[in-house]
Amino acid sequence: MIKIEKAQCTGCGGCVNLCPDAAMSLTSKDIVVIDEKLCSECQICVKTCPVRVLSMC
Amino acid sequence: MAKRYDLVVVGAGPAGCMAAKIAGENGLSVALLEMKTDIPVVKRACSQMLLPLNEDYLGERMSFNGKNGHFCFLRNGLSFKYDGPYRNIYAFEIYSLGGQSLKFGEASVRKKLGDQGRISIATDKGILIKGLLKQAKAHGVEVFPGTTVHDVKKEGDAVKVMSSKKTFEGTFVIAADGANSRIVQCLGLNKNRTYYSTMSVIESSMKGLHLPAEDTVYYICAEVNGAPTLCALIPRAYAGEYNVVFITLDPKVELTKFANFIMKESKLSPWFKDVQLKISLSAVANMYTTILDPFKDNCLLVGDTIWCQESENTGALLSGGKAAIAVKIALLDGKLNREGVATYLDWWKQAFVDRYPRDLIMKNYILGAVMTNEDMDYLFSLLNEVMPASILPYTLPGHLGEAVGKVVPIIQKQRPDILGKLGRMAQEPVEQILAPHSDPSMANR
């Protein structure tokens, strides 16, 4: 499961389009959210995030 | 039955907003989709400049009239109104970590020329986008924020755009969803592109910097364990404020650590003695070779979706506008296909593909991959002449190359190893130079 440090997310959306499963989107507050049903835990988002708010747990 | 739009635009950045505005003004029915909820709020790191204003780009000469906010692509005749604050930027300077600098123009000299001396303007990008959006809506464009596109498919004579909200249908789609375009990926167009690496950026707005000169963009060019890493300090539209971005081409580099090193320990730390690092924005962008043919399944691709590294705000605005015009012509001619939008495809070929060498923009970023920080100190120390004022990544390498050419005999005598490294920059494929810093699993194919 991918964990998100919501308070640190800047809402840049970079991970949303780089997710191979299209499992990510932005909330109404422009914070990233993951649909776990679609997420294959490839961790591309973890590698990509410039502010390191995503991690595997 | 879903509403059929003439045009669905995906992405409400500068390219998408310009496309929607131009399409709406010309009577097309348009749906503009954006994944963010609040479109004019800038959430992605950006210099927020409009450049260049003192030289051609894409075969265009760009003009900004501060009196009425009129920005015009003079040769194409496309224009828009920007009614926010702006500041003239007159020069560009690159520093090595050890404090040696390369000057492209000198602000104190060029400022005397007024608007004629500027190389770019700083804008408030949120206000710029807000203005374009307002103009688009005034012409009937329907805007759908909070809408994330996850797939696109041509079915019959319609293109279906599948999103988090609903499925949209358009006769044409303009993909303006940026460097990591979902639409480009869905259309399979990343498969034949060479992937260079992924650029990571963090940004902090700063006030109270102590920089050598005003009205100047500064770059600090460095390497972190051989990974090209930079800091750019860009004046904002508001007096005394800067957008400070920290960029790396190797996602393994810890940008916050690099930022703290620059600000607290490096020779350039006096610039930052009165400021704090407060990261408010970030960005991540895959860098690939340019898409040469920006069309598939009635989707026209614009802005960062097709460019190598980035289009600049101006490239985004121009390509978005050109694509919208092409769609209008196609609909008027009843040619709902590639032939109908030939004006856009022909423009792209002559404006970009045939004009700029494939790897050219990447040359601006890879010095740190072939040279150490000490090498760059040495090289920059030899280049004391003020080079022509420019901030355009497509002309900077040429100016630098010319200046280096004049000191080659000195380098040959003192540091022949540096000549070897410069040779790599000139001859070795960029993807090879960046290979140690690049993770192919991130190529979004």
Q: Is B251 on the interface with A (CB under 8 A)?
A: yes
Return the residue of B nearest to A35 by Cα: B164
Kindly determine whether residue A18 and residue B284, on different chains, have CB atoms separated by under 8 Å.
Answer: yes
Q: Is A50 on the interface with B (CB under 8 A)?
A: yes
| Residues B366-402 pLDDT 10s | 999 999 999 999 999 999 999 999 999 999 999 999 9
Q: Is B269 on the interface with A (CB under 8 A)?
A: no
B chain contacts of residue A25, beta-carbon cutoff 8 Å? 35, 148, 164
Structural contact between residues B295 and B349, judged by C-beta atoms closer than 8 angstroms = no
Q: Would you say the ipTM is above 0.90?
A: yes
Instruction: Find the mean pLDDT for residues B31-38.
Output: 97
| Residues B309-350 pLDDT 10s | 999 999 999 999 999 999 999 999 999 999 999 999 999 999
| For residue B1, pLDDT beyond 80 | no
Quote the pLDDT of residue B445: 87
Distance CA B325, CA B319 (A): 10
Q: Is B150 on the interface with A (CB under 8 A)?
A: yes
Return the residue of A nearest to B253 by Cα: A50
Q: Is B161 on the interface with A (CB under 8 A)?
A: no
Of B36, B439, B441, the CB nearest to A30: B36
How open is the CA angle B388-B393-B395, to the nearest 5 degrees?
A: 45
pTM over 0.90: yes
Please name each of the domains of chain B with its CATH number: 4-84+124-193+289-353 (3.50.50.60), 87-120+196-287+364-439 (3.30.9.10)
Q: Is B260 on the interface with A (CB under 8 A)?
A: no
| Residues B145-161 pLDDT 10s | 999 999 999 999 999 99
Residue A32 Cα, gap to closest chain B Cα (Å): 10
Q: Hunting for tokens 């898409």 — which residue is that?
A: B291
Neighbours of B151 (CB within 10 A): 14
To 10 degrees, what angle do helices B373-382 and B416-427 make?
100
How far, CA to CA in Å, does B377 sit from each of B91, B98, B223, B372? 21, 6, 12, 9
Distance CA B54, CA B63 (A): 9
Return the residue of B nearest to A23 by Cα: B150
A chain contacts of residue B254, beta-carbon cutoff 8 Å? 52
Structural contact between residues B365 and B228, judged by C-beta atoms closer than 8 angstroms = yes
| Residues B243-271 pLDDT 10s | 999 999 999 999 999 999 999 999 999 99
- Name the percent of chain B lying above pLDDT 70: 100
Q: Is A18 on the interface with B (CB under 8 A)?
A: yes
Q: The domain A2-52: what is its CATH number?
A: 3.30.70.20
Kindly determine whether residue A50 and residue B44, on different chains, have CB atoms separated by under 8 Å.
Answer: no
| Residues B189-245 pLDDT 10s | 999 999 999 999 999 999 999 999 999 999 999 999 999 999 999 999 999 999 999
Say what the alpha-carbon torsion angle B252, B254, B258, B260 is, to the nearest 10 degrees.
Answer: 180
State chain B's mean pLDDT as an integer: 97
| Residues B62-79 pLDDT 10s | 999 999 999 999 999 999
Please enumerate in sequence order all residues whose Cβ is within 8 A of that of B426, keeping only pairs 6 or more positions apart, or say none. Answer: B401
Domain borders along chain A are 2-52
Structural contact between residues B16 and B323, judged by C-beta atoms closer than 8 angstroms = no
How open is the CA angle B58-B308-A51, to the nearest 5 degrees?
A: 125
Kindly determine whether residue B281 and residue A12, on different chains, have CB atoms separated by under 8 Å.
Answer: yes
| For residue B92, pLDDT beyond 90 | yes
Is residue B301 very low, low, confident or very high in pLDDT (cuts 50, 70, 90)? very high
A chain contacts of residue B145, beta-carbon cutoff 8 Å? none
- Name the percent of chain B lying above pLDDT 90: 99
Kindly determine whether residue B37 and residue A22, on different chains, have CB atoms separated by under 8 Å.
Answer: no
Structural contact between residues B200 and B229, judged by C-beta atoms closer than 8 angstroms = no
Quote the pLDDT of residue B2: 80
Kindly determine whether residue A30 and residue B44, on different chains, have CB atoms separated by under 8 Å.
Answer: no
